[in-house]
């Protein structure tokens, strides 16, 4: 039961990252706005790492998983929070991206053998 729930979470994570990145690209092409760059960075970093792994998850702090991907996601979050003029699609897509990244990285993507 738990394994299938984690697998479903992983599929939803990839779907949400793909949707967020595609919507940010479309919004940038339709009408350039600075917050969409942060959404694109935050959504594409984990997506690219899934298909072409560039972050092996090694860090000085054992509690931090995927430190390079986490750094890029947090830079995207900071960028959107600094540049978004009002609540809107960039902010909500970003919050969904951040939540799904944290849920997938620390719960669904965690090692069950350690616990």
Q: What confidence score (pLDDT) does residue 111 get?
A: 52
pLDDT confidence band for 115 (50 / 70 / 90):
very low
The whole-number pLDDT of residue 45 equals: 92
Closest CA to 17 of 43, 42, 40, 48: 43
Q: Which residue has the higher pLDDT, 66 or 61?
A: 66
The residues near 14 (Cβ < 8 Å, ≥ 6 apart) are: 47, 50
Q: What is the pLDDT, as a whole number, of residue 10?
A: 83
Number of domains in the chain: 1
Could you tell me which residue, 54 or 74, shows the higher pLDDT?
74
pTM for the structure as a whole? 0.84
Classify 60 as helix, strand or coil.
coil
Among 27-36, 52-61, 73-82, 83-92, which stretch is predicted with the lowest mean pLDDT?
52-61
The residue-averaged pLDDT of 88-108 equals 89
Range(s) of the domain holding residue 11: 2-114
């Amino acid at each position: 039961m738990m394994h299938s729930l984690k697998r479903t979470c992983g599929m939803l994570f990839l779907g949400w990252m793909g949707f967020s990145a595609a919507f940010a690209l479309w919004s940038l092409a339709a009408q350039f706005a600075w917050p969409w760059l942060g959404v694109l960075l935050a959504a594409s970093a984990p997506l690219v790492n899934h298909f072409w792994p560039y972050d092996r998850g090694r860090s000085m702090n054992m509690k931090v998983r995927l430190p390079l991907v986490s750094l890029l996601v947090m830079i995207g979050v900071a960028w959107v929070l600094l540049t978004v003029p009002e609540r809107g699609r960039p902010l909500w897509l970003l919050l969904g991206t951040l939540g799904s990244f944290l849920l997938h990285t620390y719960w669904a993507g965690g090692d069950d053998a350690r616990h």
